[in-house]
C-alpha cells in the first residue's frame, strides 16, 4: 500500500504547479487549466484521506467537488468566448478596459 505521505507530496506539488500557472499566465484558457490542476490536487487529497481512514465520505466530497468544477468551468469558458468575441483576444489583462 502506498503511504499517505506520498499522496500529500503529490497534492502539494500539483497545488504549487497550479498556483504558479495562475500567477504567471494571462490567457483565460491557461488560467482554467491551472485551476483544474488545483482542484485535482484537492480531489486526490479527498480520495487519499478516504482510503487512509477507511471512510467513504472523502469519495462523496470528491464527487461533489468534481461536479461543481464542471459547472464552474462551463460558465468560465462561456465568459471567455463572449469576451474574446468582443475584444478579439484571450488575454485577461484587457479586462481593465471594461470598468463600470
Type and span of the H or E element at 96: none
Indicate which CATH number applies to the domain containing 42: 1.10.287.3510
- Domain of 62, in residue numbers: 4-97
Beta-bridge partners for 91: 27
- Residue 12 banded pLDDT, cuts 50, 70, 90: very high
More confident of the two residues 85 and 13:
13
Mention every residue, 6+ apart, whose C-beta is less than 8 A from residue 25: 31, 34
b/e 29-48 (16+ beta carbons within 10 angstroms → b): eebbebbebbbbbbbbbbbb
For 100, residues 6+ apart whose C-beta sits below 8 A from its C-beta are none
pLDDT at position 23 is 94
Q: Residue 100: which pLDDT band, with cuts at 50, 70 and 90?
A: low
Structural domain count, the chain: 1
For the stretch 36-92, pLDDT in tens is 999 999 999 999 999 888 888 889 999 999 999 999 999 988 988 888 888 887 777
Amino acid at each position: 500500500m502506498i503511504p499517505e505521505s506520498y499522496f500529500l507530496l503529490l497534492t502539494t506539488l500539483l497545488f504549487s504547479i497550479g498556483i504558479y500557472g495562475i500567477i504567471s499566465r494571462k490567457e483565460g484558457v491557461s488560467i482554467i487549466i491551472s485551476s483544474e490542476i488545483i482542484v485535482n490536487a484537492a480531489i486526490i487529497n479527498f480520495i487519499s484521506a478516504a482510503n487512509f481512514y477507511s471512510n467513504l465520505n472523502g469519495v462523496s466530497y470528491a464527487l461533489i467537488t468534481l461536479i461543481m468544477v464542471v459547472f464552474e468551468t462551463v460558465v468560465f469558458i462561456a465568459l471567455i468566448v463572449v469576451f474574446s468575441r468582443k475584444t478579439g483576444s484571450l488575454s485577461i489583462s484587457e479586462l481593465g478596459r471594461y470598468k463600470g
